[in-house]
A and B are shown apart, each in its own frame.
Chain A
Amino acid sequence: DIVMTQSPLSLSVTPGEPASISCRSSRSLLHSDGFNFLSWYLQKPGQSPQLLIYLGSNRASGVPDRFSGSASGTDFTLKISRVEAEDVGVYFCMQGLQVPVTFGQGTRLETK
């Protein structure tokens, strides 16, 4: 199974400041079509997860452009350029390259 390891597991950020979350996969997530099958989700308190980023760096529909995703080999990063109060919740990465699909442990973001 592909193991997904996130860091940090919790993050406290002042609104208006940037934030960065890392996700490392135990093997390459590069699909034969040239895309990384890595996605990022935010689960706001009391809500279902919502897709933020797919194929490593593509923002999902309706996601603010302060969110961005990048990849370097098996290391993936989600960046928030300026954290807002509505960004609080738990962030998960997920690999969709092969079954079993696996998630990172989650990173809890709170604002100061």
Chain B
Amino acid sequence: EVQLVESGGDLVQPGGSLRLSCIASGFTFSHFWMGWIRQAPRKGLEWVATMNPDGSNKYYVDSVKGRFSFSRDDAKRSLYLQMNSLRADDTAVYYCGRGNQGAYDIWGQGTMVTVSS
């Protein structure tokens, strides 16, 4: 079964750090662009970051540049989102997604990040 499973979400204080993980199964992970998308409570979808198959190109939404870092480990079929200097407006459900023909065709179930004191 083609699947993405996120983990690592938690309650963290403003200024803190968190590392999200996403494990892929059921497809050749190393062939695909991958991304992170988030959804603040009762809000719409916001793209966060994307990376090409070999990891040589990474792109971020302006609001997280310099604070978030996206990486992948093909041997472990895993994605990571290192989030530093977290702010209240980073509070959201974070989804990982598989990029395919300009769309995200597979989504994980999401992991909740809450930034609050």
User: Footprint of B on A, CB under 8 Å?
Assistant: 31, 35, 37-39, 41, 43, 48-51, 54-55, 58, 60, 92, 94, 96-97, 99-106
Instruction: Please give the distance in Å from A57's CB to the nearest CB on chain B.
Output: 12
Check A49/B95 contact, CB under 8 A, given A54-B102, A54-B103, A96-B103: yes
Contacting A at CB under 8 A, from B68-103, are: 95, 99-103
B102-A39 in contact (CB<8A):
yes
A103-B46 in contact (CB<8A):
yes
5 A-B Cβ contacts within 8 A?
A31-B102, A41-B45, A50-B107, A51-B106, A106-B44
Contact with A along B53-75 (1 / 0, CB 8 A): 00000010110000000000000
Classify chain B's interface size: 20 to 34
A49-B107 in contact (CB<8A):
yes
* Of the residues B44, B47, B107, contact of A100 by C-beta under 8 Å: B47
* Of the residues A41, A55, A103, contact of B101 by C-beta under 8 Å: A55
Instruction: Please give the distance in Å from B110's CB to the nearest CB on chain A.
Output: 6
B109-A99 in contact (CB<8A):
no
Which 8 A-B pairs give the minimum distances between C-beta atoms? A96-B102, A37-B102, A39-B103, A101-B47, A54-B103, A99-B59, A48-B107, A103-B45
B105 at the interface (CB under 8 A from A): yes
* A55 to B100 Cα, complex, angstroms: 10
Q: Which residues of A contact B102 (CB under 8 A)?
A: 31, 35, 37-39, 54-55, 96-97
Instruction: Please give the distance in Å from A112's CB to the nearest CB on chain B.
Output: 23
Most chain-A CB neighbours within 10 Å: which of B46, B104, B108, B110? B104
* A41 to B95 Cα, complex, angstroms: 14
Q: Which residues of A contact B100 (CB under 8 A)?
A: 54
Check A54/B44 contact, CB under 8 A, given A49-B107, A100-B61, A100-B62: no
Most chain-A CB neighbours within 10 Å: which of B45, B59, B106? B45
Q: Which residues of B contact A35 (CB under 8 A)?
A: 101-102
* Of the residues B45, B46, B50, contact of A49 by C-beta under 8 Å: B45
A101-B107 in contact (CB<8A):
no
* A72 to B106 Cα, complex, angstroms: 27
B103-A48 in contact (CB<8A):
no
